[in-house]
């Protein structure tokens, strides 16, 4: 009885089936390697972004701290050499930079809460005047950036 080539594979089809199995294994391995490469790229990009964020955070934390420490040190060491206006200016610098640092740390904590899901963003409509009004306190002191 004759079953045909596809109905009953005989010895003559073993090399073909082996070749197909090898090709399937190569395709699966190639797919796994592509996934591994994508994951490695993603991890490298994540690390690059983490490093950039830490660098930025470090700079943003150190800048107001340096101003505060400089003003306090000046007042401690040379208070008698400064007139009243200069002393008040140094105290104002300390207060402004401490407030700046407090805002920055508050923003970092809010970001952490957002990322952890503990704080959910309000996705509803908001009055533009309210948004601008909440963004403006301290604005002249923070503009231009880096000033």
pLDDT of residue 1: 46
Q: Which two tokens stand for residue 144?
A: 């231009």
Q: How confident is the model at residue 36 (pLDDT cuts 50, 70, 90)?
A: very high
Query: Counting Cβ atoms within 10 Å, is residue 73 exposed (0-12), middle (13-18) or buried (19+)?
Result: exposed
Kindly tell me if the per-residue pLDDT of 35 is higher than 60. yes
- Report the predicted TM-score, pTM, of the whole model to 2 decimal places: 0.52
Is there a cis peptide before residue 90, judged by omega within 30 degrees of 0? no
% of the chain with per-residue pLDDT over 90: 44
């Amino acid at each position: 009885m004759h079953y045909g080539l596809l109905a009953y594979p005989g010895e003559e089809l073993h090399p073909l089936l082996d070749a197909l199995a090898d090709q399937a294994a190569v395709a699966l391995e190639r797919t796994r390697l592509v996934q591994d490469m994508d994951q490695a790229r993603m991890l490298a990009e994540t690390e690059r972004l983490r490093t950039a964020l830490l660098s930025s955070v470090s700079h943003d934390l150190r800048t107001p701290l340096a101003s505060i420490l400089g003003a306090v040190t000046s007042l401690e060491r040379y208070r008698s050499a400064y007139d009243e206006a200069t002393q008040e200016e140094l105290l104002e610098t300390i207060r402004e930079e401490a407030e700046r640092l407090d805002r920055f740390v508050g923003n970092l904590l809010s970001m952490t809460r957002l990322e952890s899901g503990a704080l959910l963003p309000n996705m509803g409509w908001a009055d533009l005047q309210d948004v601008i009004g909440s963004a403006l306190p301290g604005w002249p002191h923070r503009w231009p950036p880096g000033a």
